[in-house]
């Protein structure tokens, strides 16, 4: 399989390597209406590279930062995924997998604005393949740099894969940023991480209690921070904005009002831009504001085009931020 290459030199602010165990090709198309029993004819078909770590690497590339993504890739769909990444000049370190890379599908009704997302199960990885992915990602990430691991794990695989990644990062002094479903996140927390990015459902599940308002969500973030020795909890709540909670303080940002075209990739855009800011040693409040603007900007593009810099710059002044102090 081909490797992609990007020509730009790594900007200041440290290296970021992205990792995903479940990449995909995202297929998006429009239909007049989704109706049972009918033949639904699609139009305006587009394909984008997808999966959490893939999208983070793409966002970082949009920011002008040369990032590299480590992923398993198998079969013709895996080859197409690598070709799509090459088209965006995203550096890629593929691990050849036996099972074919998956496709996900999104059907959009332009008249109603409804979006129907079909996420297929990730293909299995052998023990050797998953070990190779972990070893490659950790080896590529120097001590002190950031490894951004994002996305779900194969459903029939090792549920402790992220715990293994966290342990290896801890031993090497790599800063692990982890965005994963609660069932995959929970085993990794005991091994430590630098940053986690739960959404509201994930934060609620990990906290084990309802989180109906900002005080409850802030308390949950602070509890996770203290209990697991994290540096940062970045919790995203969609239209309700986000929290960034760290050892030096906490900040809340309100999201700008936009009319969504597609919701796919908003969380990855948020995290990618946040990591870019933190890697550049931006003030936390400034990094959060730009990240929230990026999440909103991703809603404005069809398919999985993610955020565009022009939209981030335009939306950033509409993001309000509030310092919540130190607990």
- Predicted TM-score (pTM) of the model is 0.91
- The pLDDT of residue 303: 65
What CATH number is given for 1-194 in this structure? 3.40.1190.20
| pLDDT of 212 above 90 | yes
pLDDT of residue 115: 87
Q: Evaluate whether 60 touches 16 at the Cβ level (below 8 Å).
A: yes
Task: List active site positions.
Answer: 268
Question: In whole angstroms, what is the distance from residue 176 CA to residue 153 CA?
Answer: 17
DSSP string, 94-136: EEE-SSPPEEEEEEEETTTTEEEEE-PPPPP--HHHHHHHHHH
**What integer best gives the mean pLDDT of the chain?**
90
Confidence of residue 4 (pLDDT cuts 50, 70, 90): very low
The pLDDT score that the predictor gives to residue 174 is 95
d(CA 234, CA 197): 5
pLDDT band at 327 (very low <50, low <70, confident <90, very high): low
**Least confident among 18-32, 47-61, 233-247, 257-271:** 257-271
Q: Are 236 and 197 in contact (CB under 8 A)?
A: yes
Residue 2 has pLDDT above 70, yes or no: no
> What's 256's DSSP letter?
P
**241, two tokens:** 């904005």
At 113 the pLDDT is: 84
SS3 20: coil
Q: What's the chain's Rg over C-alpha atoms?
A: 19
Q: What is the pLDDT of residue 145?
A: 94
The class level of CATH for 196-327 reads alpha beta
Nearest to 254 by CA among 238, 270, 272, 232: 238
pLDDT tens digits for range 101-142: 999 999 999 888 888 999 999 999 999 999 999 999 999 999
Backbone angles phi, psi at 246, to 5 degrees: -140, -175
Residues in Cβ contact with 264 at an 8 Å cutoff, skipping those fewer than 6 apart = 26, 28, 50, 106, 115, 117, 298, 303, 304
- Say if 1-194 and 196-327 have the same CATH topology: yes
Task: Break the chain into its structural domains and give their ranges.
Answer: 1-194, 196-327
What torsion, rounded to 10 degrees, do the Cα atoms 75, 298, 274, 150 define?
Answer: -30
State the angle between helix axes of 127-140 and 161-172 in degrees (0 to 180), rounded to the nearest 10.
Answer: 30
């Amino acid at each position: 399989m081909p490797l992609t290459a990007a020509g730009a030199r790594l900007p200041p602010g440290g290296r970021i390597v992205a990792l995903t165990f479940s990449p995909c090709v995202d297929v998006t198309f429009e239909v007049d209406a989704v109706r049972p029993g009918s033949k639904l004819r699609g139009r305006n078909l587009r394909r984008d590279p997808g999966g959490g770590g893939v999208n983070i690497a793409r966002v970082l590339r949009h920011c002008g930062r040369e990032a590299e993504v480590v992923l398993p890739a198998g079969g013709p769909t895996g080859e197409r995924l690598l070709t799509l990444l090459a088209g965006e000049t995203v550096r890629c370190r593929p691990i050849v997998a036996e099972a074919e890379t998956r496709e996900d599908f999104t059907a959009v009704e332009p008249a109603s604005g409804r979006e129907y997302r079909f996420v297929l199960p990730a293909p299995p990885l052998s023990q050797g393949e998953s070990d190779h992915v972990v070893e490659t990602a950790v080896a590529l990430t120097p001590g002190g740099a950031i490894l951004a691991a994002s996305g779900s794990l194969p459903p029939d695989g090792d549920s402790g894969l992220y715990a293994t990644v966290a342990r290896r990062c801890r031993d090497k002094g790599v800063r692990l940023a982890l965005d994963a479903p609660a069932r995959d996140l929970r085993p990794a927390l005991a091994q430590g991480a630098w940053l986690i990015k739960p959404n509201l459902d994930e934060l609620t599940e990990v906290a084990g209690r309802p989180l109906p308002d900002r005080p409850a969500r802030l308390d949950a973030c602070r509890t996770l921070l203290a209990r697991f020795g994290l540096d940062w909890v970045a919790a995203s709540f969609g239209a309700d904005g986000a929290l960034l909670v760290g050892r030096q303080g906490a900040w809340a940002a309100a999201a700008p009002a936009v009319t969504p075209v597609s919701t796919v990739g908003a969380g990855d855009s948020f995290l990618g831009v946040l990591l870019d800011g933190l890697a550049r040693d931006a003030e936390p409040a400034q990094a959060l504001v730009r990240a929230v603007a990026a999440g909103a900007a991703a809603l404005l593009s069809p398919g999985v085009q993610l955020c565009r810099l022009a939209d981030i710059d335009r939306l950033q002044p509409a993001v309000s931020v509030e310092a919540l102090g130190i607990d």
